[in-house]
Chain A
Amino acid sequence: MPVLEREDMPRQEPEARRSNFDEVALGYSEEQAVSEAKRCLQCKKPKCVEGCPVEVTIPEFIKLVAEGDFNAASRQIKTMNALPAVCGRVCPQETQCEEKCILGKKGSPVAIGRLERFVSDYERGKGVDTPPAALPSGKKVAVVGSGPAGLTAAADLARMGHYVTVFEALHEAGGVLIYGIPQFRLPKEIVKAEVEYVKKLGVTVLVDSVIGRIETVDELLSEYDAVFLGTGAGLPSFLNIDGENLNGVYSANEFLTRVNLMKAYKFPEYDTPVPKTGASGGKLWKGKKVAVVGGGNVAMDAARCAVRLGASEVTIVYRRGEEELPARAEEIENAKEEGVGFRLLTNPVRIVGDDRNWVTNIECVNMYLCEPDESGRCRPKPLEGTEHKIEVDFVIIAVGTSPNPLVPRTTSGLEVSKWGTVVADDNGATTKKGVYAGGDAVTGAATVISAMGAGKKAARAIDGYLKGN
């Protein structure tokens, strides 16, 4: 009989991790991985696989882990998933593969994500194998955007034998994996290693290439046989309230880009600052008070970065209740352990600054939730007479993003919805011949794994298109 208790993963203690950007979750040891892998029942009809958008052959790789053949386990995963070290860390497994695990019915499900992470970390330490690829097809595909959708599509297309070039606007590949998700959840060295792996499959990655400006999609189509748009949803939404342009008010995208991509937490060793830091470096936001508006994973990431910069008070301000927080339960728990405060059912109505244009407080109102409507959601409504102020030095707005319009605006014949998302069918085919799309560019802001799933489907569809099916 398998043991029902799953192996805990060691983590940095909250007190220690509050002051560094090192990874919080430390990963399994070999012994822990083998022991956890032995819990898997090796189902004949595995449900877990159905829960995985990139179709990892879960019981197969776990069996190899249980046998101690970690290299073979890694090869097994890599036949389906080009970014396992990323997925093992940031997938919401509780609503994907692990939700379907049969062991979860009575006890806790097999820790599939932690095992995937262990295997890929193990392999990265040893040097990476590439799985066999098909013979060269002679076809060329341009992938726009190097986030999870683009990298997955590129890796799969390369393995199908196509010549793939990825165009990335920023100076580093990875999309949200590199600028958005912080170091302490997903170390940048790991993202870089996964990108290197995709390059080893034969993919060319061109950074500093803003499609829509340096070349349009229409121009790409004169050189490439097909185009995949994985341009994400990088345009930040603001609250459209007074005071939003005061100094000290950031979009989460700007704050996270400065901190993660530009390494502002290492200012002045790195040149990009976050303000009010002084010259000394170290605890950059020592004693400052920060409000983060929003309740998703991006809000948790921003809040936890603010804690690590040395802020004395970090508060999540969210207009709905605890139950409605869209962030992963694990990230909410991590944030709470690190001292992040929560003001739920609270909505900012105005941001106020001093005579030097620096933010000093946000005026908020308490909210109440009505009965859910047919869509299952309900609009929170303000409770009159509950206006109050929260004193702050910084405000970070994390209320969502929408697709960047640069590519749609400069591409002829590409249909876009009223939300700015690219219109595409289930296989990623857009209204423009030869152009496919997937990930947040199509769905609006969603998850890393759903973007990867979309990249995989689109790669299959593009392969069919190129072969004339």
Chain B
Amino acid sequence: MFGTFLKALLIILYATFVGFMFMGIIRKVTARIHRRIGPPIYQPIIDTIKFLSKKENITHGIIYDFGIIFALGATILALMFIPLGSISIMRAYGDLILITFLLEIPMLGIMFAAMSSGNPYAGIGAQRALLTLLAIQVPLGFAIVALAEFYGTFSTYEIVMAQQTSGWSIFHLPLLLAAIAYDIVLQAMFGKEPFDIMIAPGEISLGPMVEFGGKHMGILQIQHAMGLFAETLFFSNIFLGGAVITTFSSPILNTLATLAVLLVKQLAVLLIAIFVSTIFPRFTIDQAAKFYWKWPTIIAALGAILASL
């Protein structure tokens, strides 16, 4: 019992730290692409400390506070289900559908909070975010179906184990198609550029985030860091073969090697997202919905059909 608790705490701490580093990497790499020097890589940590140390707080009621906590809690819960190499708490129940669902819940929490603030910009942002959320469901669903058809199981951990013997998912054609569709969807889940319609800095102020200041924003930063970690981890688990390394004799070395391999895979996923986001301008919301219901859906559906043949 106590051991599980400790493990959960360690996973949360590790995810938060790595997530913050990912946020820093996003800003640093974006700056380098613009030929700037960019902030230090630990900048998001400083930002969060600053937000948490604000002397005043603005609140708009109970739902406004609760939505934030809800988002953070959902991210933590998602993190518990995703197998992190050989360490994870509830990997036996780590169902594909459950995890995809849990990774979208934080957005709903943020929506709750944003809508209860009564700011019209937040309202518009929430509507756009919900439409994006609706649009990405279709390719996402087909990608999940393709995976489940191919491996004959919904359990994420079993998929990781299957990839140990049969090679990474992206080396099989049907799953490669699913992975491409999922990667396009990931762009919207990160809130990165071609599909960052929900936040849309400059277009609708900050969308749902416009009213969050002080500690609320600090908690949202932590949530964002963990979300980044969880989404990249899930992608590398189901498509890039996860990592369960058993070459060393000592379990600690094995764990460290697993984490390192996973980190490299997560970074690869993240870097693709950054490169795409820095060179593409933003879609409008109707274009994004049409886009998601067209190309990624076709690709993922093709993958699903090929997988079931």
Is B truly associated with A? no
